[in-house]
Structure 1
Amino acid sequence: MPAVTLADRLRELRGSLTQRQLGRALGVSVPLISSWEHGVVPPPERLDDYARYFALAEPGSTLPTPEQLSPDERQTYDVLRRGLHRLRGSSEIEPELPHPLRFPPGQAITIVPSELPSHVRDQFGDVSKPQGPDYVDAYKYADLDALIELLSFIRGMNPTNPTTVGVPSELSTDDLTAHLIALGGVDFNEVTEATLTDLSHVPVKQLRRATFQDTGSFSVGYADGRRVELAPKLRRDQRGTTLREDVAHYLRAPNPYNRERTLTFFNGMYSRGSYGIVRALTDPKIQERNAAYVDRRFHGADTYSIVCRVKIVANEVVVPDWTVDDIRLHEWPEAEHDRSSGAAAH
């Protein structure tokens, strides 16, 4: 009996599905599916997609993220993936770690940064005025450091996904129905404010600042009925105001404008908090640890939330490590032992 080839195995997996149906699910063209089934060797990441799709108990019309696989499906995925890579001739097969910022190939992503109000932009002079010779359009963004960090990471991790960046006034309906990532809070980001209204069951609310100089805070609720306000820590002296520790919020939920896509919040009370909470999932030294914590802690939940400290040391942002209990200020859904013991807020 002749040995089974990779092309044979790919045709066998497809089964009764048409090449068009499979191509739509994987985000690739019919000719590409056909070429793989006739001997062209797919890149390793496409074999991962095959394994993830056919690990599903009932494969549908979309490719699941690693986080969406059940424990049994994850086991099936690992077996399928190793088998496909072995047929491909891969010498070493590294496990694919689930990551909240890895999206199914080909699916659109929209990043919505906060927009600085005009009275703040006016302080920048001519570079913030469209008629100015040195006009810089990016000065409209409130969390520019966080945006640069997030955008480069998203594009690197999702090379086949079209990615749009725009403030709320620039977005179309199609943009809002993509995988939606909102950067910044309710003071400057209309999308954050609107979608939080749709997520009223999440017990985390950002309290709007009465004035631009106010500190602001998050209000968090617990299963026993308590509500606690979590605020940044500032030091004020004759030299001015210094941020010592911010409070930031990471949230994941289904996109309320398209339930088949996701909504992600990165939101600090200050810009440095937004940068720190983004770095929690992009920093080379910390992000895999935090992604693994999210997968372990919230596996199977489509909506979850972490409010944490973002410490500032020697004027530098310290990336929050979510595996450290003291860094996490509030988690939802609450862990079973927290609900049963009535654990106090940090």
Structure 2
Amino acid sequence: MALNPDQARRLARRLRQLRASHWPDVDLTQVELATAFSMESNVAPATISSWESAGSPKTPTAARLSAYARFFATRRSLESGPHLIPEDELAEDERERFHALEKELLDLLHAKDLPRRNTLSFDVGPVTVICSESPSEEQSPLASADNPNFTKLNQYADLDALIEIYGHLRASNPILDVFHRVTRDVRADDLSTHVILLGGIAWNAVTKRFQEALGQVPVTQVEDPEVETGEIFTVGDKRYLPSWGDAVGDKGRGPLVEDVAFLARLPNPFNSSRTLTICNGIHSRGVLGAVRCLTDARVRDANEAYLAERFPDGQFALLLRVPVVAGEALSPDLKNDDVRRYEWAPTEGRGR
């Protein structure tokens, strides 16, 4: 059965999850699983690998998925070495788990009209939002652990964006663990989860750990003498600058009327079965605009449809206009050509 690439990868992720983490205390290899399945019909370890492939997965038959369900319905499948237990030998509770898992896998196989997973919806977790820390001189006294009223969130930069994306992640992924960290609290294990980098990629130390992924994207963020309040984005020799309103009184510059957002989705280089998402901006309004592009109910469905059509493999980088009206960042509408200032896909080599 031919599934579209997104559906095939979703099934592959589920099969890989079953083998790798269904029983967290068991290190089940592809060779062992192939040996178990071969008790009834020969399966090579390379075939198991192709079913789990993150890039171009092959699709197993319904019969093979039924075997998956039977194997993972009971830990007795591991006794005396991995093997398949005949269905008529399953206990009642094991048979219930078998039928539930079989239905889940077959639904993935037959869901031809299954919609593309939204960018911030995940099949497995955990998900870690990594945030920049506000400069110490700009932090509230409550950001100090020595203060009796210490509130850790006072240490976070881009707090509006964090609250927006964290709430959306919890609502969209109710059974998954979702964590948030400032960069200095990031642990090594956090880097192999689904990672969302929020703001400040120019000075976020964690970002340097993702250079393997970011190196392929031709967007850089640099300091510029024209913008002292944030770092601008560049592509080659082209600079992408914010816009300011007319100066008021003796002020040398008016209010911010348009920021630039950077939104990117790439594979996580530390774990190819997980993703790296970047929501950034020149200023905090740009960061919030990148987030609201994916969370705002008024535009997110249309934006997800655009991303699915324009970037079918789910990898992309965009620079976007974020208008600021009465101090509020407006959510970018990706179907508006004027909103998209630059876009890139790895299959194109360079953006447009």
What's the TM-score, normalizing by structure 2?
A: 0.68
Say whether the 8 Å CA contact 1:215–1:232 is kept in structure 2. no
Structure (1 or 2) with the larger CA radius of gyration: 2
Once the two structures are TM-superposed, the CA of residue 19 in structure 1 deviates from its matched residue by 3.9
Question: Structure 1 residues 196, 207: CA separation in 2 closer, same or farther (over 3 Å shift)?
Answer: farther
The 3-state SS of whatever aligns with 1:324 is: coil
Counterpart CA distance in 1 for 2:335 and 2:196 is 23
Once the two structures are TM-superposed, the CA of residue 179 in structure 1 deviates from its matched residue by 0.4
Q: Paired residue for 1:238, among 249, 261, 278?
A: 249
Partner of 1:115: 133
Structure 1 residues 209-218 or 258-267, which shifts more? Answer: 209-218
Q: Paired residue for 1:133, among 125, 148, 160?
A: 148
Partner of 1:51: 107
Identity of aligned residues (%): 32
Question: Structure 1 residues 33, 139: CA separation in 2 closer, same or farther (over 3 Å shift)?
Answer: farther
Question: Structure 1 residues 49, 335: CA separation in 2 closer, same or farther (over 3 Å shift)?
Answer: same
Question: Structure 1 residues 137, 215: CA separation in 2 closer, same or farther (over 3 Å shift)?
Answer: closer
Paired AA for residue 51 in structure 1? D
Counterpart CA distance in 2 for 1:33 and 1:293 is 43
Equivalent residues in 2 for 1:79-98, closer than 5 Å: 96-98=115-117
Say whether the 8 Å CA contact 2:322–2:331 is kept in structure 1. yes
Counterpart CA distance in 1 for 2:338 and 2:270 is 35
Q: Paired residue for 2:222, among 207, 211, 231?
A: 207
Counterpart CA distance in 1 for 2:347 and 2:213 is 23
The reply on whether 1:194 has 2:209 as its aligned counterpart is yes
Once the two structures are TM-superposed, the CA of residue 163 in structure 1 deviates from its matched residue by 1.3
Say whether the 8 Å CA contact 1:168–1:190 is kept in structure 2. yes
Once the two structures are TM-superposed, the CA of residue 135 in structure 1 deviates from its matched residue by 1.9
Partner of 2:313: 300
Counterpart CA distance in 2 for 1:144 and 1:295 is 29
What is the number of residues matched between the two proteins?
Answer: 273
Q: 1:291-316, CA deviations, whole angstroms, 9 ceiling, x for partnerless residues?
A: 11101000025x31111000011222
Paired AA for residue 257 in structure 1? F
Question: Structure 1 residues 310, 51: CA separation in 2 closer, same or farther (over 3 Å shift)?
Answer: same
Say whether the 8 Å CA contact 1:232–1:245 is kept in structure 2. yes
Once the two structures are TM-superposed, the CA of residue 128 in structure 1 deviates from its matched residue by 2.1
Paired AA for residue 264 in structure 1? T
The reply on whether 1:15 has 2:66 as its aligned counterpart is yes
The reply on whether 1:35 has 2:96 as its aligned counterpart is yes
Question: Structure 1 residues 246, 212: CA separation in 2 closer, same or farther (over 3 Å shift)?
Answer: closer
The 3-state SS of whatever aligns with 1:308 is: strand
The reply on whether 1:173 has 2:234 as its aligned counterpart is no
Paired AA for residue 190 in structure 2? D
Q: Paired residue for 1:326, among 330, 338, 345?
A: 338
The 3-state SS of whatever aligns with 1:35 is: helix
Counterpart CA distance in 1 for 2:258 and 2:157 is 19
The 3-state SS of whatever aligns with 1:252 is: strand
The reply on whether 1:269 has 2:325 as its aligned counterpart is no
Partner of 2:16: none
Say whether the 8 Å CA contact 1:185–1:193 is kept in structure 2. no
Say whether the 8 Å CA contact 2:128–2:196 is kept in structure 1. yes
Once the two structures are TM-superposed, the CA of residue 51 in structure 1 deviates from its matched residue by 2.6
Partner of 1:78: 112
Once the two structures are TM-superposed, the CA of residue 16 in structure 1 deviates from its matched residue by 2.5
Once the two structures are TM-superposed, the CA of residue 36 in structure 1 deviates from its matched residue by 4.6
Once the two structures are TM-superposed, the CA of residue 209 in structure 1 deviates from its matched residue by 5.9
Once the two structures are TM-superposed, the CA of residue 332 in structure 1 deviates from its matched residue by 0.3
Say whether the 8 Å CA contact 1:186–1:208 is kept in structure 2. no
Counterpart CA distance in 2 for 1:321 and 1:23 is 48
Partner of 1:103: 122
Say whether the 8 Å CA contact 1:251–1:264 is kept in structure 2. yes
Question: Structure 1 residues 169, 142: CA separation in 2 closer, same or farther (over 3 Å shift)?
Answer: same
RMSD (Å), alpha carbons: 3.3
Partner of 2:23: none
Counterpart CA distance in 1 for 2:225 and 2:74 is 51
Q: 1:164-212, CA deviations, whole angstroms, 9 ceiling, x for partnerless residues?
A: 1111221211111000000002344222343246421211111146799
